[in-house]
Amino acid sequence: MARKETFRSALIFGGAGFIGTNWAARLLETTEAKVQIFDNLSRQGSRHNLAYLQKLAGRSGRLQITIGDVRDREMVSRSVRLATEIYNFAAQVAVTTSIEDPRLDFEVNTGGTFNILESVRSSGNHPFILFTSTNKVYGDFAGESVRIEGRRYVSSASAGSNETQPLDFHSPYGCSKGAADQYVHDYGRIFNLPTAVLRMSCIAGQRQFGNEDQGWVAHFLYSALLGNPITIFGTGLQVRDVLSIQDLLEAFEAIRRNTDQTRGQIYNVGGGARNAVSLLELLDLIEHVTGKRPEYRLEPGRPGDQAIYITDHSKITRHTGWQPKISVTETLERINAFFRSNRALFAQTRVQEFETSAGVIADLPRTA
């Protein structure tokens, strides 16, 4: 259990999303912190997540909900004033969307992050700031030699990628997130803010409403259970390391608990070599966990896709003692359990129908 403090006010941008909801729930359950959710409710499942958090908070008065967009400088500025810690999970998250609409991608990911940083600087406060970046800032590793072994690609860099890997971006999404993570890093240095940047691999777990562009682990499992065919872009031999959401929350706590060591740092955070799996291997695991195998078809690979990405998390392990504990199979079991406990949420196929299904609040409070 996290240590209790005199006053903690946690502001979570993107707080109704997958990571934000799980983090808000952890704070409500294990600390006395006040929690402010800032979200534009654009993501599938966000209204359901808010209903879940409101139920969890009950009448404690510790949960505040602001329906807003990080592109709105005034709303962001008003929201940061009393925060003692800020978590920026608000983002445009799909490489495909960034290619279709690079301006939107830039305005949300880079511009939204800049709005948060400038609002903090103008406030005169020095809250702890944690920003979730992505492994896509490292590009597609085009120069890396890979070979096929069984149902996966392998390379000589078996230990994974560490923070010394050169930035390469290779997509508008990589550019916007890379620019944002450098802004966070440099604002921490120039304006003496206690910041931390996490370049994350594939995060998966309960309360994740995934699709083929983001949250692909959950998307594959749900598709198997619903009997929906999936599309795999590329050969399916691509390898990723999967990190359970519970392990990610432990990383957040470890970083904040050790700010003397972690402030101003950038960390690669992921499941590591022990939790690396190819897309085709994941289908095997899903069949093992659920008894159902997803039907799939192969399509040409997409721009910027990495043949292999495995996180070398040794830096954060050295600085905080954190390391992943939950296996890919156990992560799939938890997603499967979430699906079976919330079948009604997956009965609808349209996002609008999904967001207005049973148990979802019709009118959410708007605060400024």
pLDDT at 320: 98
Q: Give yes or no: 173 in active site.
A: yes
Q: Is residue 283 part of a domain?
A: yes
Q: Is residue 280 part of a domain?
A: yes
Is the confidence at residue 3, as pLDDT, over 80? Answer: no
pLDDT at 348: 52
pLDDT at 301: 87
Q: Is residue 164 part of a domain?
A: yes
User: What angle separates helix 216-226 from helix 328-341, to the nearest 10 degrees?
Assistant: 50
Selecting among 173, 187, 222, 309, the annotated active-site residue is 173
Q: How many domains does the chain have?
A: 1
Query: Range with the lowest mean pLDDT among 1-15, 72-86, 234-248?
Result: 1-15
Residue with tokens 């590329």: 234
Q: Is residue 234 part of a domain?
A: yes
What CATH number has the domain bearing residue 116?
Answer: 3.40.50.720
Sheet holding 265-269, edge to edge: 63-67, 34-39, 9-13, 85-88, 128-134, 195-200, 265-269
For residue 139, the enclosing domain spans: 9-355
pTM reported for the whole predicted model: 0.91
Query: Range with the lowest mean pLDDT among 19-33, 166-180, 312-326?
Result: 166-180
Nearest Cα residue to 265 out of 324, 316, 196, 175: 196
**Averaged over 340-357, what is the pLDDT?**
58
